[in-house]
């Protein structure tokens, strides 16, 4: 897998991904993609088979009400996956790294995220520091 770290996250996450064995991973700033629109970025992500890591999950993940309202790349029949780090407001680099470490741990168990969304959320209501949720998108028909 190769991760493209969104500009809303620390460049340190790209280094974490490389250190975890995902050698082709990069931050958008290192690829000259800073300031690109979501639509333009999604085309590149699809064309180059990236798994996007973002904190702006509302811009990229499926909408709860309908798959037809989902962002363009998730409407694709095949995509390399999405990781949403749903960080609390005011979170800094340490929290970003903790959430991404949790995501990397889940990926180590799963193998890949093809057609999946992995969301990492605060575990404030439980004993866990973070909670991982994984779901298929697009959903597979029953």
Question: What pLDDT does 88 receive?
Answer: 87
pLDDT digits (tens, 9 = 90+) for 99-126: 999 999 999 898 889 989 899 998 766 5
**Higher pLDDT pick, 62 / 93:** 93
Average of per-residue pLDDT across 92-98: 94
Asked if the model's pLDDT at residue 72 lies above 60, the reply is: no
pLDDT of residue 142: 41
CA 40 – CA 87 distance, rounded (Å) = 24
Cross-sheet strand order for the sheet of 26-27: 26-27, 3-5, 51-54, 82-85, 116-122, 130-136
């Amino acid at each position: 897998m190769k991760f493209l770290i969104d500009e809303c996250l620390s460049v340190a996450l790209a280094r974490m991904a490389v250190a975890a064995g995902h050698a082709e991973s990069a931050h958008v700033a290192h690829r000259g993609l800073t300031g690109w629109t979501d639509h333009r970025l999604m085309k590149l992500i699809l064309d180059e088979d990236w798994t996007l890591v973002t904190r702006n999950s509302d811009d990229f993940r499926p909408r709860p009400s309908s798959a037809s309202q989902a962002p363009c790349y998730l409407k694709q029949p095949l995509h390399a996956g999405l990781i949403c780090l749903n960080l609390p407001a005011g979170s800094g680099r340490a929290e970003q790294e903790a959430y991404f470490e949790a995501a990397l741990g889940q990926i180590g168990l799963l193998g890949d995220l093809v057609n999946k969304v992995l969301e990492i959320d605060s575990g404030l209501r439980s004993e866990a520091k973070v909670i991982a949720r994984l779901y298929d998108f697009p959903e597979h028909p029953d």
